Amino acid sequence: MPNSKPNSEPNSEPDLHVLRLTPYYYLAGRELTHRELQYEPIGGMQVQIMQTTEQMSALGARQTVVFPRRPGMGKTMDVDARTRFELLALPIAPIPTRAKGYIGLLVSWGLALTAWCVRQRLRGGRRRFSLIHVHCSELPWTFLFAVVAKAVLGVPLVITTHCSAIATFHPESLLGKVLIGPARLFERWAVRRADAAVVLTERIRKVYVDTGLTTEDRVHIVPDGVRLDDFRPSAADPEPDPGPPVVLYCGRFAPEKGWADYVAAAAMLVREGTAARFVMCGDGNELRHCRAELARLGITGHVELRGHLERAEIAAAVKSAAVVVIPSRHEELGGTVLEALTAGRAVVVTEVGGLPEVVGHGAAGLIVPPWDPPALAAAVRKLLESPDLRGEQGAAGMARAAGFDLAAVTRRLAEVYASVVARR
């Protein structure tokens, strides 16, 4: 099995210079303030972009990564000999939304980014960059400003659709319902204008091709990756806790992550007297609503809230769990499920997006309907009552996780870059 840590394998395109544009980025090892966590709650997309950047640098690509500036940071940061961060000051008021980040974050990022691209074009940026890679989420703005960046700089465009408005996103808020139409419009526009579209699953690839948005040769499946050695069980791991088995939720506290369904299922299991410890890790603007819901259900003392964890702490939490629950209401490919499979943990996922595909349609995890706490509770109960089933699914999960090795996944992305540059 190839080592999933960054390696020194040379890039097939030594002069490749990637301009990576993203409104989100996880700066590992940085102590995050409460304000920063409100500004941008840490989730799987941030972690994946960070890991991709690090691994691509190890493959030899030069990268300029443009994302919002954090408090106390300068305008630029040289990460290593190949990677530079360009940090944008955003015209944004610190008003948190209920679901994720500050109001207007993506629009402010797009406007600041457009101004930055104009400055780069005036300074010869068209000759400086080989291609643009924009990481897009389910709202209209990342897709819109991806096309704007291509138009301003005049270089090839690669987009990654982390969450498709067309096929994955199901809005819950009034704002989300208002924006879903424009989001689908701009996603279609961006996919048509992109020189390459990167998707996480076969499901989205099929949607893009079957609807005529792009052709087979311009859409590529490059899933999220996981650093296998960080999550595989090892002899260095601490001894298992002799107490009740841990049922883990690890993710942002946002409506689409289904934390409320996890809490409701936990309440059912607590009332039944199920021997288990319920642990929730992560941050987000709905964390205070979670605390209120735990109090309303009378289970505050039965659910441990650990807050934001660094990557090593997340690995330890996942390895210590008996069951990892991914109760998402919409999700294409969650990082938590890959980490749990790598660790050989039993998982319960909802039947949304690409999650059933990731767990082999039930071979490596139980699948339940979204928005269904009773079904979630029943699946957790089934796994807690059957150590043999947990072991079987854990072994199957570890085998499937090998296909998501970060080093291999990043090499696939490098091949996409090479194909785009070759057509230039």
Residues in the chain: 424
Could you tell me the fold of the domain covering 228-403?
Rossmann fold (3.40.50)
pLDDT tens readout for residues 108-158? 889 999 999 999 999 876 678 999 999 999 889 999 999 999 999 999 999
| Phi-psi sector, 128: left (phi>0), alpha (psi -120 to 50), beta | alpha
The least confident of 7-16, 205-214, 298-307, 339-348 is 7-16
Task: Assess contact for 214 and 191: CB atoms under 8 A.
Answer: yes
Closest CA relative to residue 88, chosen from 112, 114, 63, 117: 112
- Nearest partner of 408 among 255, 196, 282, 224, judged by Cα: 224
Beta bridge mates, 221 = 199
Predicted local distance difference test score (pLDDT) of residue 29: 60
305: which 2 tokens?
């809230």
Confidence of residue 8 (pLDDT cuts 50, 70, 90): very low
- Per-residue confidence at 100, pLDDT binned at 50, 70, 90? low
Q: Does 17-225+405-423 match 228-403 in CATH topology?
A: yes
Parse the chain into domains and list their residue ranges.
17-225+405-423, 228-403
State residue 124 phi and psi, 5-degree precision: 90, 25
pTM of this structure: 0.90
DSSP 362-404: GTTSEEE-TT-HHHHHHHHHHHHT-HHHHHHHHHHHHHHHGGG
* Residue, of 71 and 234, whose pLDDT is higher: 234
Q: Mind listing the pLDDT tens digit for each residue in 212-257?
A: 999 999 999 999 999 999 999 988 888 888 899 999 999 999 899 9
Contacts for 265-273: CB closer than 8 Å, 24+ residues apart: 265/325, 265/327, 265/373, 265/374, 265/376, 265/377, 265/380, 266/299, 266/302, 266/303, 266/377, 267/297, 267/298, 267/299, 268/373, 268/374, 268/377, 269/377, 269/380, 269/381, 270/299, 270/302, 272/381
The reported pLDDT for the residue numbered 283 is 87
Work out the average pLDDT over 355-369: 95
Mean pLDDT, residues 387-405? 96
Q: How many CB atoms lie within 10 A of CB 202?
A: 12
**Predicted confidence (pLDDT) per residue in 170-203, tens digit:** 888 887 889 899 999 999 999 999 999 999 999 9
Give the whole-number percent of the chain exceeding pLDDT 90: 74
Question: What is the β-pairing status of strands 346-350 and 323-326?
Answer: parallel
Provide the mean pLDDT of the chain. 90
- 201, 354 contact by CB (below 8 A): yes
| Class at the top of the CATH hierarchy for domain 17-225+405-423 | alpha beta
Of residues 115 and 36, which shows the higher confidence score?
115
Give the residue with greater pLDDT, 270 vs 42: 270
Per-residue tokens: 111:
């406007």
Specify the pLDDT at position 42.
60
The H-assigned helical ranges of 287-368 are 287-297, 311-320, 335-342, 355-358
Spatial separation of the C-alpha atoms in residues 424 and 82, rounded to whole Å: 23
In the predicted model, is pLDDT for residue 308 greater than 90? no
Residue 73 pLDDT grade (very low, low, confident, very high; cuts 50, 70, 90): confident
The DSSP secondary-structure symbol of 238 reads: P
CA distances (Å), 239 to each of 200, 279, 346, 383, 398, in order? 35, 18, 18, 21, 20
Strands (E), 245-329: 246-250, 277-281, 303-307, 323-326
